[in-house]
């Protein structure tokens, strides 16, 4: 039964909405490739089950998010932080794990505001150690050597059981990081692949949430990304290696936006734990996205600090959550308005 319900969740989060000038017809082949390479189960359910298995009341989950570069997105995108906050909420409240949320210094104001708007307790190290579900915010540096050292420090200090990347860009085969349009952005992006690779070396579970093929985890579908995306195999920068990342994760969730993929995983966790309150309500998510934009994050397609996500309006974000809540409530046979 969970597989049937999760399949509906995946289909909803993969409804493609792309503005003119951006690749269309890519979400379905990327999703199908990700599902096939991971054994055929619904992707959101795979992520939720891994979290249920690995993230307990005495465990720590590390989440890293944040994307965007000057001149249009110097303070990050509205895709990423809201999804990270939704996962932190579901894992913290549902499983009792402590969350360490990482992002680059330039994205931190929007991420901090997003987490606060989600109603999550952002606490100091000392207080967080005594409170299940607490969130610790920590900056992740932009430089390569600095990122490598910070990844090692985070993994050693917190000994997480799961490391999650939400809308976090990864390098191609030449070590260069690109936008969806194949524009080089290495200098402005934290080298979060060090965190994923370090976790894998320690046999820590990893999950990636993605929507375009250049995000951490999409190395699992590398050849599909190179074939399907306009700049997948050949980018617009001198490296010429394409925007497809080579970095893999244990679980990869593809969706129309990375936020929606995270909402889908949170919905599946709510289903498994029989607790619909683990999924944000539309009103709560409106507040989250508004605060994210008010603190500088922008719509990834428009490049403007407005409460839209990748070219889709606030009303669309609310509608996705209304439908996810109904799928979960009906799946649990709770035939009532869930919020």
The token pair at 196 is 């994923």
Q: What is the pTM of this model?
A: 0.97
Radius of gyration of the CA atoms of the chain, in A? 18
Identify the residue whose tokens are 């990270």. Answer: 84
- Contact (Cβ atoms closer than 8 angstroms) between residue 66 and residue 300: no
pLDDT of residue 333: 85
Tens place of pLDDT per residue across the chain (339 aa): 789 999 999 999 999 997 766 778 899 999 999 999 999 999 999 999 999 999 999 899 999 999 999 999 999 999 999 999 999 999 999 999 999 999 999 999 999 999 999 999 999 999 988 898 899 999 999 999 999 999 999 999 999 999 999 999 999 999 999 999 999 999 999 999 999 999 999 999 999 999 999 999 999 999 999 999 999 999 999 999 999 999 999 999 999 999 999 999 999 999 999 999 999 999 999 999 999 999 999 999 999 999 999 999 999 999 999 999 999 999 998 756 656
- Contact (Cβ atoms closer than 8 angstroms) between residue 162 and residue 55: yes
- Which H or E run contains 60? strand 60-65
pLDDT of residue 338: 59
Q: What are phi and psi of 237, to 5 degrees?
A: -110, 170
The token pair at 230 is 């306009």
pLDDT of residue 1: 76
């Amino acid at each position: 039964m969970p597989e049937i319900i999760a399949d509906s969740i995946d289909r909803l989060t993969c409804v493609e909405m792309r503005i003119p000038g951006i690749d269309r017809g890519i979400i379905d082949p990327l999703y199908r490739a990700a599902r096939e390479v991971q054994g055929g189960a619904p992707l959101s359910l795979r992520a939720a089950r891994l979290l249920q298995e690995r993230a307990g009341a005495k465990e720590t989950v590390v989440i890293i998010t944040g994307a965007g570069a000057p001149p249009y997105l110097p303070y990050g995108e509205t895709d990423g932080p809201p999804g990270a906050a939704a996962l932190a909420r579901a894992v913290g409240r549902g499983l009792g794990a402590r969350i360490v949320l990482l992002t680059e210094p330039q994205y931190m104001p929007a991420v901090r505001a997003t987490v606060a708007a989600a109603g999550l307790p952002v606490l100091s190290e000392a207080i967080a150690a005594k409170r299940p579900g607490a969130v610790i915010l920590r900056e992740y540096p932009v430089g390569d050597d600095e990122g490598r050292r910070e990844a090692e420090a985070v993994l050693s200090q917190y000994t997480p059981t799961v490391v999650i990347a939400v809308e976090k860009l990864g390098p191609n085969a030449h070590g260069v990081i690109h936008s969806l349009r194949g524009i080089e952005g290495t200098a402005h992006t934290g080298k979060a692949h060090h965190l994923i690779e370090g976790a894998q070396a320690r046999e820590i579970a990893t999950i990636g949430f993605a929507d375009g093929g250049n995000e951490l985890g999409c190395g699992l579908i590398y050849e599909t990304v190179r074939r399907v995306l306009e700049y997948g195999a050949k980018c617009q920068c001198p490296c010429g290696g394409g925007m497809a990342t080579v970095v893999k994760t244990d679980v990869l969730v593809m969706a129309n936006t990375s936020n929606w993929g995270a909402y889908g995983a949170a919905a599946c966790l709510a289903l498994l734990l029989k607790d619909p309150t683990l999924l944000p309500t539309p009103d709560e998510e409106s507040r989250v996205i508004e605060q994210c934009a008010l603190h500088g994050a922008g719509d990834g397609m428009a490049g403007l600090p407005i409460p839209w996500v990748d070219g889709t309006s606030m009303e669309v974000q609310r509608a996705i959550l209304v439908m996810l809540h109904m799928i979960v409530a009906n799946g649990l046979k709770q035939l009532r308005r869930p919020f």
